């Protein structure tokens, strides 16, 4: 049974089945396309808000369909806060949170969570650190007890720190042998540079992780993991009256502190197209990344650009995939995306292509981007992607944890409370001219960087002959290699 906060039944059935009410009627004309139905109405329960005495903000959405509760703590402590000389600090701190507290070892934490059938995770992303807890309602007290202990009393044991540190160093070394990871990391470095948080590998470097100390993690934790720097999202089979005292009890000892904002340099731009080549001898495929620093999440063009990109490379039936995979057979999959971060994230078109067709693949990428830039999308393409987003929307709200993840975006990007209630209407309002305007504005391939990792002994000459732009030879980090 699906939760009652999904789409209105009549609306979603109408959107997905459209003319299904005519089923079985002798007058049904199967030669005509069924008429479209109005955009379904989203019915979500009200978001209840309150603040604990220590300043921790709480968002609560009740859902009593299943005996489940999801807690999602959003901490303003993403990888954007990593010092330029200490990349990997925030993610290492997050990884170490459940490795031991003042009263529990890592094994005890895992055993207690497993025993009650709950799950818990702490991880850092670009825009924030998220601590999630999913539990049965009847085990809320026990689960919260462990959850709060992990968040409030981590001790970062030296032995566990050494183990996690060695694992991270091994992972970084492995990245050096993975063409896809090399291409992505090098692309970030090329378009953002070493002085911007988005230009540095968030996992860290061999040097930064090697020099990281347990005390560095403690300092980062004490500076950023504060109730006044966090928001708790609660979704599930609880009420305001029942959950408030539980949260107050669990987090009452979490003390306030002074917070600070991340410091960002100006977002760089790409002045003209260049081709950055990274050698991977013997590679059977070339990894291609094409793009530039594009848009932040707060852009007014979010829905318009999202729809435009769905046509270009955001779905299996996109233009890029049809061209490079279905038509030419250069790759198993080609795609594109806009990363809407707090600050302008990148537009990236990417694929792993057969080595012998590296030059042709880059040409097809640029041709499709230029075609979208010059002509935009068709009315049929726009209608198709709108229907796809409408039909899939409800799937993001099936469980309490999914709803909690969705509400997390309201916190991260300061979105209005009714964002999801009006989401489908906002998509429906986007016009064909607006999408064409967005393509013209945001898809200028003459100001994009082309980064590829491949066997240069095989592909370098052919790529240079295509005259895509100035060619630059780089190492696996994206740094220019002097001739």
Rounded distance between C-alpha atoms, residue 43 and residue 5, angstroms? 6
Protein fold of 49-251: Cytochrome Bc1 Complex; Chain A, domain 1 (3.30.830)
How confident is the model over 321-367, as pLDDT tens digits? Answer: 999 999 999 999 999 999 999 999 999 999 999 999 999 999 999 99
pLDDT of residue 228: 95
Torsion of CA 432, 437, 438, 443, to 10 degrees: 120
For the chain, the distance separating the N- and C-terminal CA atoms, rounded to the nearest angstrom, is 65
CB 86 within 8 A of CB 79: no
**299 Cα distance to chain centroid:** 16
- Centre a 10 Å sphere on the Cβ of residue 190 and count the other Cβ atoms it contains: 26
How confident is the model over 23-48, as pLDDT tens digits? Answer: 444 566 777 766 666 777 777 788 99
Task: Tell me the C-alpha to C-alpha distance, in Å, between residue 386 and each of 100, 396, 411, 435, 439.
Answer: 47, 16, 26, 12, 17
Token digits of residue 400:
């309490």
Three-class SS state of 197: helix
Mean per-residue pLDDT, 197-226:
95
What are the CB-based long-range contacts (under 8 Å, 24+) for 16-25? 16/391
How confident is the model over 321-334, as pLDDT tens digits? Answer: 999 999 999 999 99
Return the closest-CA partner of residue 198 out of 260, 127, 131: 127
Location of each CATH 3.30.830.10 domain in the chain: 49-251, 274-392+431-474
Torsion of CA 265, 409, 228, 94, to 10 degrees: -80
Please state the pTM of the whole predicted model: 0.89
Residues with Cβ within 8 Å of residue 450, at least 6 apart in sequence: 273, 274, 275, 276, 288, 289, 290, 362, 366, 468, 469
Give me the architecture of the 274-392+431-474 domain, per CATH.
2-Layer Sandwich (3.30)
DSSP bridge pairs for 286: 353
Token digits of residue 341:
């971060």
């Amino acid at each position: 049974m699906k939760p009652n906060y999904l789409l209105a039944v009549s609306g979603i059935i109408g959107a997905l089945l459209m003319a299904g009410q005519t089923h079985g009627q002798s007058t049904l004309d199967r030669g005509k396309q069924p008429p479209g139905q109005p955009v379904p109405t989203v019915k979500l329960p009200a978001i209840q808000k309150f603040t604990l005495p220590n300043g921790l903000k709480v968002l609560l959405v009740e859902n009593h369909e299943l005996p489940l509760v999801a807690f999602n703590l959003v901490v303003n402590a993403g990888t954007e806060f990593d010092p330029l000389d200490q990349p990997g600090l925030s993610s290492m701190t997050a990884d170490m949170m459940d490795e031991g507290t003042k009263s529990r070892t890592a094994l005890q934490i895992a055993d207690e969570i497993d025993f009650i059938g709950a799950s818990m995770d702490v991880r850092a992303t670009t825009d924030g650190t998220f601590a999630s807890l999913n539990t049965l309602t009847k085990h809320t007290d026990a689960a919260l007890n462990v959850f709060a202990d992990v968040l409030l009393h981590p001790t970062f044991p030296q032995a566990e720190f050494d183990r996690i540190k060695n694992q991270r160093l091994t992972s970084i070394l492995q990245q050096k042998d993975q063409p896809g990871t090399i291409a992505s990391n090098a692309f970030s470095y090329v378009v953002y540079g070493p002085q911007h948080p988005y230009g540095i590998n968030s996992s860290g470097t061999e040097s930064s992780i090697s020099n990281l100390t347990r005390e560095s993690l403690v300092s980062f934790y004490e500076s950023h993991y504060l109730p006044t720097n966090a928001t708790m999202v609660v979704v599930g089979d609880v009420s305001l009256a029942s959950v408030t005292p539980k949260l107050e009890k669990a987090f009452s000892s979490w003390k306030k502190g002074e917070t600070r904002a991340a410091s960002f340099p100006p977002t760089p731009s790409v002045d003209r197209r260049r081709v950055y080549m990274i050698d991977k001898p013997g590679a059977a495929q070339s990894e291609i990344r094409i793009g530039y620093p594009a848009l932040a999440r707060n852009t007014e063009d979010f829905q318009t650009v999202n729809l435009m990109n769905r046509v270009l490379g955001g779905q299996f039936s996109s233009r890029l995939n049809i061209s490079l995979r279905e038509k030419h057979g250069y790759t198993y999959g080609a795609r594109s995306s806009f990363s809407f971060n707090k600050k302008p994230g990148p537009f990236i078109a990417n694929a792993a292509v057969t080595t012998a067709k590296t030059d042709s693949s880059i040409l097809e990428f640029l041709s499709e981007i230029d075609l979208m830039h010059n002509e935009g999308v068709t009315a049929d393409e726009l209608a198709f992607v709108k229907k796809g987003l409408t039909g899939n929307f409800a799937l993001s709200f099936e469980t309490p944890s999914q709803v909690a993840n969705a509400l997390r975006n309201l916190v991260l990007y300061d979105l209005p409370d009714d964002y999801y209630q009006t989401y489908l209407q906002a998509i429906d309002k986007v016009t064909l001219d607006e999408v064409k305007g967005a393509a013209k504005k945001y898809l200028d391939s003459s100001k994009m960087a082309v980064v590829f990792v491949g066997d240069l002994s095989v592909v370098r000459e052919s790529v240079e002959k295509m005259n895509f732009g100035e060619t630059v030879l780089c190492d696996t980090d994206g740094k220019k290699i002097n001739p």
